[in-house]
């Protein structure tokens, strides 16, 4: 048959295509969602949480709709109101907008991780117990406009144990920084707490345990009262925290020697005043430990001089770095013995400071404390490094 003039012949290319839906709704992981399509881009907005808001395992925000792998970009008002969180909350990595009072009345939300520079409302995090925000990746430069008394943490921060690479919340009670020196640092504790045990290691990396070695000076800022904190053998705390908690340590561990060194530094400082300042020194603790072990083998009460106080002070000096050593038979931590110990050492430090040549300008005194045992009991050993600058 001939084609009729002026009439187009239908082809596959000209057949009208089925319209592509611009919106798709569904439910996944307890959340209802809406997927929006614009040209070639798809984004998802969570609409409502229909699951158990007090689920024993807690509520988790999805990063994307799993069945279609579409990223979540929007969290609406009151989305997680009244929910219980058992772990730190991680906001979706592609988040662009967050509504008002998203976590109103939620429980267990202490730490929040953000990964993108999203838009927020002044009351986005109102009505919940959020206390610390970790800003990673694109969120590091975010302009935080939500109201609240939060602490902010970022990578790249320098610490006594290296540069911070990441953060971890192993038990929803504490935030740890992970450094490039394979060290975990406790940087924040969640309120309320009645006691806390610092773990020896945390499992941040797969198949690898990271030792906890340091407690940051602001780690106790959110605690409303002094609590017992138990330390593993090699974990130390910033000296300014000495009176901020009841530190629990195992005898003769590095943590125990550090705790006693900080206490002794405070005691001497209280007797002597603030000039020159007394600072705990890990290096001098190691020196004191070696000296205490050495003298425990060869010394006795008689060879130490048989002092009524059980205390001798020996001093040796060099022009720019002075060393002073004090040792005692028995443990001086009983109240009366402790006062005598501090007073005697403080007196000697004051005398040495007065003799300090004018060109040296005494800056600070490092201190290290340790104990060792001999046949008759404990020997307490203190080593001082009086640091000067010419």
- The β-bridge relationship of strands 97-98 and 31-38 is unpaired
List the domain range (segments joined by +) for residue 47: 23-150
pLDDT value at residue 360: 46
Question: Do both 94 and 199 map to the same domain?
Answer: no
Question: Do both 145 and 181 map to the same domain?
Answer: no
Question: Do both 141 and 30 map to the same domain?
Answer: yes
Q: Which two tokens stand for residue 291?
A: 């000296």
Cα(290)–Cα(292) distance, integer angstroms: 6
pLDDT value at residue 94: 92
> Could you report the per-residue pLDDT of 344-389, keeping only the tens digit for each?
777 776 676 666 554 444 556 677 777 666 555 566 667 766 554 4
Question: Do both 353 and 294 map to the same domain?
Answer: yes
Cα(207)–Cα(168) distance, integer angstroms: 15
Asked, for residue 230, whether it belongs to a domain, the answer is yes
Question: Do both 129 and 238 map to the same domain?
Answer: no
Q: Residue 276: is the preceding peptide bond cis (ω within 30°)? A: yes
Domain containing residue 326: CATH number:
3.40.33
Cα(27)–Cα(40) distance, integer angstroms: 23
pLDDT value at residue 342: 77
Question: Do both 102 and 203 map to the same domain?
Answer: no
Cα(366)–Cα(284) distance, integer angstroms: 7
pLDDT value at residue 58: 78
Q: Which two tokens stand for residue 373?
A: 């045992």
Distances from the Cα of 104 to the Cα of 167, 174, 337, 358, 377, angstroms: 25, 22, 54, 63, 59
Cα(102)–Cα(72) distance, integer angstroms: 15
pLDDT value at residue 41: 83
Q: Which two tokens stand for residue 281?
A: 């020194």
pLDDT value at residue 279: 80
Q: Count how many domains the chain has.
A: 3
Q: For the chain, list residues with pLDDT below 50.
A: 1-21, 301-302, 304-306, 308, 318-321, 358-361, 388-390
CB contact at 8 A, 140 and 155: yes
pLDDT value at residue 287: 75
Among 97, 119, 150, residue at a domain's last position:
150
pLDDT value at residue 123: 93
Asked, for residue 94, whether it belongs to a domain, the answer is yes
Domain containing residue 201: CATH number:
3.80.10.10
3-class DSSP state of 90: strand
């Amino acid at each position: 048959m001939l084609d009729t003039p002026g009439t187009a012949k239908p082809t596959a290319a000209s057949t009208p295509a089925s319209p592509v839906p611009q919106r798709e709704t569904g439910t996944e992981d307890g959340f209802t969602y809406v997927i929006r399509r614009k040209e070639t881009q798809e984004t998802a907005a969570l609409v409502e949480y229909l699951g158990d808001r007090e689920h024993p395992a807690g509520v988790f925000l999805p990063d994307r709709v799993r069945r279609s792998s579409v990223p979540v970009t929007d969290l609406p008002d009151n989305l997680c109101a009244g929910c219980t969180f058992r772990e730190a909350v991680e906001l979706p990595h592609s988040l662009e907008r967050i509504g008002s009072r998203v976590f109103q009345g939620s429980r267990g939300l202490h730490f929040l991780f953000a990964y993108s520079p999203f838009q927020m409302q002044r009351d986005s995090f109102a009505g919940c117990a959020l206390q610390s925000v970790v800003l990673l990746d694109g969120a590091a430069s975010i302009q935080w406009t939500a109201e609240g008394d939060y602490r902010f943490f970022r990578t790249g921060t320098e610490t006594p144990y290296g540069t911070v690479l990441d953060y971890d919340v192993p038990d929803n009670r504490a935030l740890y920084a992970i450094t490039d020196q394979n060290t975990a640092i406790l940087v924040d504790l969640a309120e309320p707490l009645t006691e806390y045990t610092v773990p020896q290691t945390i499992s941040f990396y797969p198949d690898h345990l990271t030792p906890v070695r340091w407690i940051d000076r602001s780690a106790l800022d959110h605690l409303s009262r002094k609590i017992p904190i138990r330390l593993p053998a090699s974990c130390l705390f910033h000296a300014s925290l000495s009176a901020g908690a009841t530190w629990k340590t195992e005898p003769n561990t590095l943590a125990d020697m550090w705790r006693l060194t900080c206490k002794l530094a405070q005691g001497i400082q209280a007797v002597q005043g603030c000039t020159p300042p007394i600072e705990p020194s890990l290096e001098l603790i190691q020196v004191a430990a070696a000296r205490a072990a050495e003298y425990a083998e060869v010394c006795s009460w008689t060879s130490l001089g048989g002092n009524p106080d059980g205390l001798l002070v020996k001093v040796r000096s060099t022009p720019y770095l002075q060393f002073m050593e004090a040792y005692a038979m028995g443990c001086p931590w009983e109240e009366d013995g402790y006062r005598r110990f501090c007073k005697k050492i403080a007196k000697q430090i004051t005398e040495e400071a007065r003799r300090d040549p004018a060109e040296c300008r005494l800056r600070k005194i490092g201190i290290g404390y340790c104990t060792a045992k001999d046949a008759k009991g404990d020997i307490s050993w203190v080593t001082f490094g009086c640091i000067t600058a010419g």
